[in-house]
Each structure stands twice: as C-alpha cells, then as structure tokens.
Structure 1
C-alpha cells in the first residue's frame, strides 16, 4: 500500500490542483499538506479524511496490530503477583487457647522471615516482585531497554527470603501458604518470559 503522502500528491496532480488549491478545498493548512506529501509527518486521521474526501480517495483501513502475547502474559503474571501479596504467605503457631492451637497468618504486607538473624520483611519482597513485573510489562511495551542487572538483584532478594523461610522451619512451627508459592512461581515465570523475549528480539535484529 502506498504511503498517504504519495497517494495524496498523485491524486492532486491528476486533478490539476496546486497544493494551495487543495489546502483551500479541504480547509487544511498549506504547510500541513506540504509536510504530508513530503512524508515529514504522520497525519492525523481527521486531516487524512478531509484530504481523501476532497480528492475522492478511498479511506485507509486502520492496520490491525497483532496480539502481543508477551504483553498479555507479563501483565497476567504481574497481576498474579499483586494478588499473591494479599493472600496468606505463612502461618505460624501463636499460642494455645482452651487447649487448642491458634495460628497467625502473614501476608505479603505483614510478617517477616529471618536470614542469619536479619529480619527480611514481607513487604520488601512484595514491592521487589511487583516492580519486577512492572519492568517486564514496560519492556513489552517498548518503554525501556534491558534491565537484567536490576532483575537479578531482585531475584537475589527472593533467594534470600526463601533461605530465610527454610531457616524458620527448623526453629518453630511454620506452614507455607498459597500466596507465597504464587508470588514465587509468577516471579520466576516473569524472568523466563523476559529472557525469552530478549533472545527473540536479538534474533530478529
């Protein structure tokens, strides 16, 4: 399909019109027509409709963009991470009440784990994983360049947290809840998707 500027120029010449004539008939600025015909700008749809209508040119159907599966996949995983932060991550024994065990459940915004006596807060890991998801989504939109170093730092944070969870289990009663598994799996899949997309983009260059 010809570029709009070339089609407009050819049709204008067939009509025997000058650019000034076309500007007057279509009520479009002369400078705008000059820039369109020289392909110096991407005209707005409204401007094209005015010019095409005067010149009797069939309108251009809007191009159908292919479905960005990477965008959908990364957005879905990021949504899973956000959801996972509000679900239970761990359940720890609290006390006996009337002879019954009671537990306290921690989510991605409460509680902590220990790594070498250092408290690693759940909210820190939540923000880390969510920001990783936003990086991958932004990358799928073409808004940023490679951020692999930052992502590796976030994965290191996740690894420290997992080591801390294993340490907890050796010291007191601790049960892992669905939210923690969800955020870990989604985070890992996000990194895999990010790497695959980067490899694919490199192969297409």
Structure 2
C-alpha cells in the first residue's frame, strides 16, 4: 500500500467510505460533491497553493497539483483572483463543478491498486461498483486520523492533512458514521471542533446546510 502521505485528501476521504464488512465503497451521494469540493480546497491549502484568511482566499501560488481536478480549480481561482482583490471560500466551493467530481480520485485509487472495479449489468445497463483491495483500509484510515486528533497539533503536513480531513467529515455530518458508538465519541468531539475552526470545513458546513435547507 502506498504511504498515506502520498494520497490526496479527496482520496483519503473516499477510503473512509469503504464498508469494513464487505469492502465496498459506500459513497454518501447527497453530500459527496460538497465534501469532495472542500477536500480539493483543503488539499490546495495544505500544499500552499492557496492561502486563506477567515472566509476569504487571499493568495495563490502555482505549485503544480498532482491531479487535474485540483489543477483546474486552482487555475480558475487564480484567474478570478486577478480580477478581484479576494475570493470567497463559499463562492469557490460552489464553483467547483460536480463533474468529474470524485471520479478522478477513484481512478487514481484503482491505478494504485487500492480499489478494484466490478462491472455488473442492471436492467440491461452496465453498473460499476468499487471494492477496496483490503476491506479494513477504511477503518485503518479512520484509526490513523483518530490517533492524530488525540495528539497535540504539531504542524506537520501529515497531521494537518488528518485535521483537515476530520473537519470535513464533521462538516458533512459523517463523523457518526465513521466513528460510531461510545468508542468513537472522543474523535467525534474533536472532529466537530475542527469543523467549527477550520475555514474550509466551515465553508462545507454552510454549503451542506444550504443544500438541506
């Protein structure tokens, strides 16, 4: 398995969606486009491609993101930033298109051998489902993030990725799914606090609330 710090935040988010019993990816369709959009912005933030102050994107630095989705988002944000003094996170989140959405990240997980594709026919039409190479990879990812949240923030890139991921999970109200029961309560509390503190996670929560309102 590739080291976790070589995977983007959107990829890590998808791995959290692996059902530990059957190994299938159970993607939350109602919120996934908002969470993936937030994960793309979080990835740009932790790599230094954008800087953020409160609700605003205040700077851009072309670092050559590794995937075409993030690269396209950065190019559009930078172009808008040239015409405006600052760019709102909420507007940036809404302008990230639903398509291709998470598909490029699924494709990268498949290429890395972490996920396989299963094709079946339903009502005469092909239907694809995705299976993790190891059913426990989602719980392993969740456990790593939980361990990071139990430690004081050290500012390392790996820890910051986990913090951003946890904040996004809480913002999309997926924390109880990934950290159920009494055992998951401390992680849920920590994730929800990050969801209130981290600017990208806050933007995702506002978008999810607006969608459901």
Normalization by structure 2: what TM-score? 0.24
Query: Greater CA radius of gyration, 1 or 2?
Result: 1
**Greater share of helix residues, 1 or 2?**
1
Q: Which has the higher contact order (CA 8 A, sep 6+)?
A: 2
